[in-house]
Structure 1
Amino acid sequence: MPFSLDNKLVVAISSRALFDFEEENRIFEAGDAQRYMSVQLERLEQIAQPGVALPLVQKLLAFNTADAHRVEVVIVSRNDPVSGLRVFNSAKASGLKLERGVFTQGREPYRYLRPLNANLFLSANDADVRTALDNGFPAAHVYPDSIHAATEHPNEVRIAFDGDAVLFSDEAERVFQRDGLETFHAHEASHSREPLSAGPFKSFLEALHRLQQADAPMHIRTALVTARSAPAHERAIRTLMSWNIHVDEALFLGGLEKGPFLAEFEPDFFFDDQTGHCLSGARVGPTGQVLGGIVNQG
């Protein structure tokens, strides 16, 4: 029988999210694609340094055992196939068992997310992230300069999510942006028992929730880290309850800077839609911006 990705958590990840190719990328961004390919060929046997998402990938792959293949990580990259050799060489040297990759030599790779059944797409290319989100895939623009994940919890994957425009739709955020905080609180209080619509990362949280039930050497801990405060907290919690999804921690910060709280949670990844929160998060741990919703329009 052919290999199947059904019932697996599938992470599609770009080479720059997995490894530190920032020096090489500057050559590519300068418009010299041939020089970029030549440099990658010259460095074919040179193992790339870890990127910001590599520790997360290592932990997720640890859910796989001899008896159960629960997580599949696929490299989905704008790199050319020859540069892809260096990616696979670096993955092997880093102890990552990666078997599948898609290399499109500069073309948009998002079309391959559908046959992969991707639960998450991580990329350092913001245009690719926007396109993936527009096509219904959970996707985040990785901040390559993020502080790397802490090492104090080697047997636990810790993921922190913003609420509005990430786990939830941006419907409430639109009220806030249009009418201000007081109207937002009144609106959320009057709709407290009406679940919010799903945001782009609901399906990824669901996949993590399923993985959380696995009898595996790794564990998952999730946190909702939101600028909401009482009385707007109730609708967020009731929405998660209506989805039958449990988060381990919920932080209702009411506009406080998120970074110091994330420093205490020590996430392997933090997802937020707003640049300010992402910059704060990136100072303490791996961060990805969800480039959707009203705050990312225009």
Structure 2
Amino acid sequence: MSVSLAGQLVVAISSRALFDFEEENTIFEGNDDRAYMQLQLQRLDRPARPGVAFSLVHKLLAFTTPEAPRVEVVILSRNDPVSGMRVFRSAQHYGLPIQRGVFTRGSSPWRYLKPLHANLFLSANDADVRSALEAGVPAARVLPHAARASEAHPNEVRIAFDGDAVLFSDEAEQVFQSGGLDAFQRHEADRAASPLAAGPFKPLLHALQQLQQASTERMRLRTALVTARSAPAHERAIRTLMDWHIEVDEAMFLGGLPKGEFLREFEPDFFFDDQTRHVENAAHHVPSGHVASGVSNP
């Protein structure tokens, strides 16, 4: 019988996004891959420390059981196969049921996202993330220096999204950058009843809503929209989600206030935003990733 990942939420993640390989990465980026392989081999029995996206992966995997495999996590890494042994051993140490991995020894691995039918790709490599987004796969560059997730919600996956150029298209952002705030507010108020086009992360939010329906006492899912929009531009965002038949649990319309402190209170396992200044601000408080999408990311 053939194996299929159909019907599952598939997360592809680089080893550096899942585990803290920053020390080892200095050797890898020095183009001395044999020294990197040797170091990883020497540390084979030393579990790597959790990385920025570890909490997100750990909690998502709690949705899956042998009877109902709802989530699949696949390592998709520029590491070599030898170093991949340490990645799998580290996953086993933490009880992560990760079985599949692709290791490309320095070559870009993004092209394997399509046969995996990946719903999300997380990597610390900007070029790989941009290639994935261009191929139509929701993807974000994790910030390895970002804060780690809070342990306050062990039975709840919390994910926060920016709106424009992430969940929604960058249509409104283009108006803002060309005409300023007043033009943006008029544009959105005039089109309040017209849904925005989908952004790169709309398919992920849809897949997460399906997963949310499988919530149990063991693990639940909570989502938040965290946007610089304010009234009257809030209405178009809400109506767009209603048109998509997608619900979010919380919505923050911050009118340009820094997002970091609000995210600190929400305590997400991961936050996605297209603007580097918002991501950097958030990274002081929560695990964060940059979505290189839209007019702000030429």
TM over 0.5: yes
Provide the residue aligned with 1:103 in structure 2.
103
Distance 1:259 1:141 in 2: 18
SS in 1 for 2:186: helix
Residue number in structure 1 paired with 2:276:
275
Corresponding letter in the other structure for 2:252: L
Q: Which runs of 5+ in 2 are unaligned?
A: none
Partner of 1:210: 210
- Shift in Å, 1:75: 0.3
**CA distance in 1: counterparts of 2:104 and 2:67, whole angstroms:** 33
Given that residues 215 and 221 in structure 2 are in contact (C-alpha distance below 8 angstroms), is that contact kept between their aligned partners in structure 1?
no
Are 1:293 and 2:266 counterparts? no
Identity of aligned residues (%): 67
1:66 Cα deviation from its structure 2 partner: 3.5
Deviates more, 1:43-52 or 1:203-212: 43-52
**What are the equivalent positions in structure 2 for 1:130-145 lying under 5 Å apart?**
130-145=130-145
1:229 corresponds to 2:233: no
Quick one: distance in 1 between partners of 2:156 and 2:284? 21
Q: CA deviation at 1:65?
A: 2.1
Contact conserved, 2:170 with 2:199, CA < 8 A, in 1?
yes
User: 2:257 maps to what in 1?
Assistant: 256
Q: 1:35, CA displacement in angstroms?
A: 1.5
- What displacement does 1:215 show? 4.7
What do the CA deviations read for 1:120-173 (whole angstroms, capped 9, x no partner)? 000000110011001100000001111111111111000000000000011110
CA distance in 2, matches of 1:221, 1:210: 12
Unaligned 5+ runs, structure 1: none
The residue aligned with 1:158 is 158
Matches of 1:33 and 1:156 in 2, distance apart? Answer: 39
What is the alpha-carbon distance in structure 2 between the residues aligned to residue 59 and residue 41 of structure 1? 28
Q: Count how many residue pairs are aligned between Structure 1 and Structure 2.
A: 297
Output the CA distance in 2 between the equivalents of 1:32 and 1:86. 18
Q: Which amino acid aligns with 1:21?
A: F
Aligned equivalents of 2:136 and 2:21: distance in 1?
Answer: 28
Which SS does the other structure have where 1:209 is aligned?
helix
Question: Does residue 179 of structure 1 match 2:179?
Answer: yes
Give the letter for the 1:289 counterpart: H
Shift of 1:225: 0.1
The SS at the match of 2:130 is helix
Distance 1:131 1:280 in 2: 25
Secondary structure of the 2:121 match is strand
Q: Is the partner of 1:169 in helix, strand or coil?
A: coil
Distance apart, 1:55 and its partner CA: 1.1
3-state secondary structure, aligned to 1:47: coil
Question: How far is the alpha carbon of 1:30 from its aligned partner?
Answer: 1.8
Matches within 5 A, 1:57-96: 57-96=57-96
- Following TM superposition, the consecutive aligned residue runs of length 4 or more in structure 1 with deviations greater than 4 angstroms are none
How far apart, in 2, do the equivalents of 1:51 and 1:268 lie? 12
- Aligned partners of 1:136, 1:105: CA distance in 2, in Å? 24
State the partner residue of 2:121: 121
Cα-to-partner distance string for 1:277-296 (whole Å, 9 max, x where unaligned)? 10111111110110111111
Alignment TM-score, normalising by the size of structure 2: 0.98
Q: Partners of 1:66 and 1:103 in 2: how far apart?
A: 26
